[in-house]
Structure 1
Amino acid sequence: MEFGAWPHVTGDLASARKNASAFLDGLQGDRAQLARQHWGATWAGTGDAYCRLADLNINKKEYDEAAEAWLCALTAFEVARRLVADDDPRKADVSAKVEAGLQGIGLSFGHEVETVQIGCGDLGDFLAYYLPAGTPNSRAPAVICVSNEEEKGPTLLGRLLPVVIGRGMSVLVVSHENIAIHARGGSEIVLSHCFDHLSLRSDVDSSRIGIYGDGLSASLATDFAAYDRRIAAAVCDGGIWNWTRSLRSVRWMTSTDGADKDIVSVRRSRLAGLLNCPILVVAGGRGVVSVPEAIKLQAVCMAAHIDVDLVMPQLIRGGLGEEVDNFVSSDDCIFRWLEQKLAPESTQERVVG
């Protein structure tokens, strides 16, 4: 089968994500270069087909089927977005379709994505996006999700909706730019206000709130989890980004090859030890943590009995020198981990797929 050339769509989310994952895993060398030139439009067209199917199902009042078709569309648009070059005008068009898809979810799913205002006192206010877990009469876990440095909140929300819905957890999505613009210490205060917003909601269990930082926001997630001991689980960088920058500065200023290996090991353990919750480090791919550094961190943390897990997305190097990661498999793994860590203690399992 030539992935990306689908004669029809069925609205089956599991199949749509399986095909997207297989397509991304198949990108290699010349195939990846051709994908940049041709397949972006094909995947965008597939997303459009899912949107038409969703509209048809809404007209027939088949709302569950419509919601699933919208989720399939968001997955297809995310694949297209990663294939289209950043300077290609089609990139903005696909992003606009993602935002339209978010509105479609509200029409068919029964409850819309809420735009909420987070008040941060002297640090100002900003808008975030909240999707409730959809479990009435119960308090569900929630995750604060911070987009990477290149994306807005709605883009991340569009990518995460297909993997979050059905897991019984709420998500509050915020843009990296709203968090990272503040001086040192400010980002932690702003994220604490996000936590406060969730903890005051009647549908959220304040003892089971986690944080996920995408891209450079993984460092912000680490800083926040160390600052605010209420966080129950963190998908972050374990302090590696800040430590690596500091180490490079020392090397540059002293013209040496770096600190003693034992000192480095102790430093890694101390950084991770500041976190009062289980952490998951995303290594490789488009993240900020290299695989060797993540493996060293995990070894040190295991010796210190610190709860650290790793996930390593498959990275495909395209023929044009650009990189594409399999967001489908990595997001599934990340939110399966969060689902387990934020579950009631009696049902938690230490399993990462």
Structure 2
Amino acid sequence: MHGRCGARGASSSSVEFDDKGWPCWPDREDLSAEFIRLLAAAQEGGATVSECWLTLSRINLASVSSWSEEWIKTAELNEARAELSFQNGNLITARRNWLRAMTYFHAAARPLESLDDLLTCAVDGMRRCATNLLKSRVPAGEVLSIPWTEDVCLQAYFLPSAFRDNGPVIVCIGEPGSYKEELIAKYAGHANERGLSLLAVDLLGTQVALPPERLGQRFETAMSRVLDFLSEKPGVDNTRIAIVADAWSSSLVARAAASDARFAAAVCDAGIWDSHERSFFFRHAAGHEQTGCLEECNSISRSIDCPLLVTAGEGGWLLPGALTEFGNKLGNIHHDASLILFRRAETAAMQGHLDNPTLANEVIFDWLEDRLRLRTGLS
């Protein structure tokens, strides 16, 4: 969170506000960020502002279970409305309520200290609502299991375009520990309106199939398996498959784009996270305290051949000047690469565009539309 919160701690259910006007709790940065994410989801239909504030008013942060319990209650109310609407043949309302229920279940699953039974309830509800939402779409979506290693499959959702056959696909990847259901709420509307199919992929989710150190070594092979799968899937143009990293708090997607030339476009960090970590360790070893700096473009960014877009926020964890300099260097070494920096004055400036993902996603999907040579509903 940016700015300072009020003096009261997280033992109270009273909400505090930072100097930017965002709700926060000094001792619970994770829940502060999650509530901002919920409010932002309302812009995409993934929540309603009134339900968010009403649920928050019932939460006692002194209780380990209260956060998850209250969001589950709100999620179940929306799920019940969805089921009733579906039975009555009101499919649009059913889908809208399943989408909101999915978001609220996701919020319930976020606290690291969630009790096992509450976490199981939240994750099961989230996936149940996602499955019902996909089944009610036109055309219907699919729940997929994509082979990866001998003992691990990648879990994914495929949302086909309603506008075209043999068309492009956007592969959206969440960071380790995130959920593919959140990717549906964030990206499905932007993709669907532009005639783009969407594949939302889980890496780890709640069940750690591989430890993080092994994941880093094998992630490139995972994305190659995804490309292999999509290339054989009917209705997919295998020359127009793009990859999008969600929140880019690692360079996993950038490494995947650098290792497989089949991607038609990539939206990722271009190796910034790896460069930042390396620079941090070098400076720390030399006794320098400066943070937020970057090296020159590294081997990852130099190895990505497809069109490349990096988006960042002025209020994120890197200095704006360092990002601008990195973007200039990136443009000099790459035939089609750019870095877009969102300023605080326009929002979408927090890390991962947490404060306004809608604004960032409009830029991202317009760029994807242009690079994949699309015009909505026409090509």
**TM-score, reference length from structure 1:** 0.70
Unpaired runs of 5+ residues, structure 1, are: 5-12, 25-30, 259-263, 316-323
Task: Measure the CA separation in 1 of the matches of 2:232 and 2:249.
Answer: 24
Correspondence list, 1:193-342, <5 A: 193-215=225-247, 218-253=250-285, 255=286, 257=288, 267-268=296-297, 271-283=300-312, 290-292=318-320, 293-304=322-333, 306-310=336-340, 313-315=348-350, 327=354, 329-330=356-357, 333-334=360-361, 337-338=364-365, 340-342=367-369
- For the 8 Å contact 2:147–2:153, the answer to whether it is kept is yes
Count of residue pairs the alignment pairs up: 316
Aligned to 2:142: 114
Task: Measure the CA separation in 2 of the matches of 1:345 and 1:127.
Answer: 26
Structure 1 residues 105 and 286 mapped into 2: Cα distance closer, same or farther (>3 Å)?
farther
- For the 8 Å contact 2:45–2:99, the answer to whether it is kept is no
* Residues 1:135 and 2:169 aligned together: no
Give the secondary structure class of the aligned counterpart of 1:190.
helix
Give the secondary structure class of the aligned counterpart of 1:103.
helix
Task: Measure the CA separation in 1 of the matches of 2:375 and 2:305.
Answer: 17
| 1:272 CA drift (Å) | 2.8
Task: Measure the CA separation in 1 of the matches of 2:177 and 2:372.
Answer: 36
Task: Measure the CA separation in 2 of the matches of 1:79 and 1:335.
Answer: 24
Quick one: which amino acid aligns to residue 226 of structure 2? C
| 1:223 CA drift (Å) | 0.7
Task: Measure the CA separation in 1 of the matches of 2:331 and 2:236.
Answer: 32
| 1:221 CA drift (Å) | 0.8
Structure 1 residues 176 and 103 mapped into 2: Cα distance closer, same or farther (>3 Å)?
closer
**TM-score, reference length from structure 2:** 0.65
Quick one: which amino acid aligns to residue 253 of structure 2? A
- For the 8 Å contact 2:145–2:154, the answer to whether it is kept is yes
Aligned to 1:87: 113
Deviates more, 1:101-110 or 1:161-170: 161-170
Aligned to 1:319: none
Task: Measure the CA separation in 1 of the matches of 2:203 and 2:130.
Answer: 19
Correspondence list, 1:176-195, <5 A: 176-177=203-204, 182=214, 186-195=218-227
Task: Measure the CA separation in 2 of the matches of 1:174 and 1:67.
Answer: 21
* Residues 1:54 and 2:86 aligned together: no
- For the 8 Å contact 1:102–1:158, the answer to whether it is kept is no
Task: Measure the CA separation in 1 of the matches of 2:102 and 2:215.
Answer: 35
Aligned to 1:63: 91
Cα root mean square deviation, aligned: 4.4
Specify which of 174, 177, 181 is matched with residue 150 of structure 1: 177
- For the 8 Å contact 2:331–2:337, the answer to whether it is kept is yes
Specify which of 102, 105, 109 is matched with residue 74 of structure 1: 102
Task: Measure the CA separation in 1 of the matches of 2:248 and 2:76.
Answer: 31
| 1:344 CA drift (Å) | 6.4
Structure 1 residues 270 and 17 mapped into 2: Cα distance closer, same or farther (>3 Å)?
same
| 1:131 CA drift (Å) | 1.5
Task: Write the deviation string for residues 329-350 of structure 1: whole angstroms up to 9, x where unpaired.
Answer: 316633651354245655579x
- For the 8 Å contact 1:146–1:174, the answer to whether it is kept is yes
Task: Measure the CA separation in 1 of the matches of 2:147 and 2:370.
Answer: 29
Task: Measure the CA separation in 2 of the matches of 1:326 and 1:92.
Answer: 29
- For the 8 Å contact 2:68–2:114, the answer to whether it is kept is no
Structure 1 residues 167 and 238 mapped into 2: Cα distance closer, same or farther (>3 Å)?
same
Structure 1 residues 202 and 336 mapped into 2: Cα distance closer, same or farther (>3 Å)?
farther
Q: Indicate the structure whose relative CO is greater, using CA pairs within 8 Å and at least 6 residues apart.
A: 1
Task: Measure the CA separation in 2 of the matches of 1:215 and 1:233.
Answer: 17
Give the secondary structure class of the aligned counterpart of 1:290.
coil
Task: Measure the CA separation in 2 of the matches of 1:22 and 1:330.
Answer: 20
- For the 8 Å contact 1:40–1:80, the answer to whether it is kept is yes
